Amino acid sequence: MTTTPQPTRTSPYQSYVYAYPHKTAYRRLPDRPRLSALWAAEPKNALSLYLHIPFCEVRCGFCNLFTRIGAPDGLTGAYLDALERQATAVRQALGETDEVRFATAAFGGGTPTFLTAPELERLCDLAERRMGADLSAVPLSVEASPATATADRLAVLADRGATRLSLGVQSFVDSEARAAVRPQRRADVEAALARVRDARIPVLNIDLIYGIDGQTEDTWRHSLDAALAWRPEELYLYPLYVRPLTGLDRRRPGRPDPAWDEQRLRLYRAGRDHLLAHGYTQQSMRMFRRADAPPQGADDYACQTDGMIGLGCGARSYTAGLHYSFDYAVDMHEIRTIIDDYVSRPAADFAHAEYGRRIDADEARRRHLLQSLLQAEGLRLDDYRARFGSTPADDFGAELERFADRGWLTDGDPTTLTLTPEGLAHSDAIGPELFSPAVRAAMTAYERK
């Protein structure tokens, strides 16, 4: 394959592919399949557990996650009650056998540390006593915000086995935080980072965003250096997106903007090179890990793997043949309605899947290719052939030829399909090009709410 760079015709920032198919391709499942039937033939000896907490103290301007601002008195307790009913139903559906084991766990949102310390204890109890996950024996990743990373909450997480704490900082420059509609002061961020380090959770991840209005290479370097001062085991560098129905969309509606694309690419490359020069290795377009950081296990945050059990009204679950969840929304009113429905559900309702998308052989191939190719280590051709009986070139020859023509694929290792550095930089254009026509059509037809 040639690696001669060619000019691209589309924006390098099409969409962040963190799961495939995206939830906007899900639809109501008219047959409401029973979870016991969905999981009956699935391997259950290395499951991943994800618990979703849909609450935040504020809603950032760029955020389109399923989360609501604040919680009226009693709502978090009612939500944990519903989570317990769901966990009980799901564990029964998995079967009461020694085959059920969890290999990884994560608390996400929203902001899991929106919960109080006693509520976090209860959340851990649900994972362990209701689901059977041994949180002290598996990698446990938890997301947090500076305002909610308090000493008592962090002490609970550290005591219950958290191995990774991801702190959403986004920028150490106060004016940039305000421009991203994330009200925070650097002094408060630094204090939160000190508390995380005091808690001695093994892996600290810091999230940063580039492409914010007013951001320059100098201010971007300033944020990177401020983060590096804490020697985080991981750093995630995210390009800013303006998504429909978010706060920034009302200020600056998303539309093609070549100048902004160039700014984000320039800042991405500067950030990548800066971290590589400071002893970090690149794991994907977004993820950088300190060379001496402790490993987090075989799955390393691959939240889109088969065998995922998601609990909570914004969580997804994945079997080999079906991805399923509850209803999805971005609008605040719609999210509140879905959460209210979730907390009022009887236990029997949680024994069924309600929204989702079937995964046929073609979608499974696309998903495997996406999962692997967008990682720096690439896709091992023998693994693909063993699973599907074909090669990526057999199944996606036209797409791979386009990537090669643009200089996005390496040609040095015949055993592995790997992106070039410039290919990694264009991951958010590569991923959407691998979506199936059916998924594209479903995402286009989705009515935003």
Q: Give 244 or 434, the one with higher predicted confidence.
A: 434
Residue 139 has pLDDT above 50, yes or no: yes
**How large is the average pLDDT for residues 119-123?**
98
CB atoms closer than 10 angstroms to residue 106: 25
Q: How confident is the model at residue 15 (pLDDT cuts 50, 70, 90)?
A: confident
What does the pLDDT read at residue 343? 95
Stretch(es) of the chain classified as CATH 3.30.750.200: 26-290
Residue 72 has pLDDT above 50, yes or no: yes
What does the pLDDT read at residue 56? 86
Least confident segment among 273-282, 294-303, 342-351: 294-303
**How large is the average pLDDT for residues 280-308?**
78
What share of the chain in percent tops pLDDT 70? 92
CATH number of 26-290: 3.30.750.200
Q: How confident is the model at residue 86 (pLDDT cuts 50, 70, 90)?
A: very high
Spatial CB neighbours of 418, under 8 Å, sequence gap ≥ 6: 373, 376, 377, 378, 379, 409, 410
Residue 22 has pLDDT above 70, yes or no: yes
**How large is the average pLDDT for residues 425-448?**
95
Amino acid letter for position 64: N
Looking at domain 361-445, its CATH class is mainly alpha
Report pLDDT digits (tens) over 28-65. 999 999 999 999 999 999 999 999 999 888 766 566 67
Query: Residue 27 phi/psi, 5° resolution?
Result: -140, 160
Name which of 273, 254, 303 is nearest 424 in CA terms: 273
Distance CA 219, CA 175 (A): 10
Stretch(es) of the chain classified as CATH 1.10.10.920: 361-445
Residue 321 has pLDDT above 60, yes or no: yes
**How large is the average pLDDT for residues 398-404?**
96
Instruction: Write the Ramachandran bin of 110: left for phi over 0, alpha for psi from -120 to 50, otherwise beta.
Output: left
Distance CA 424, CA 324 (A): 29
What does the pLDDT read at residue 64? 63
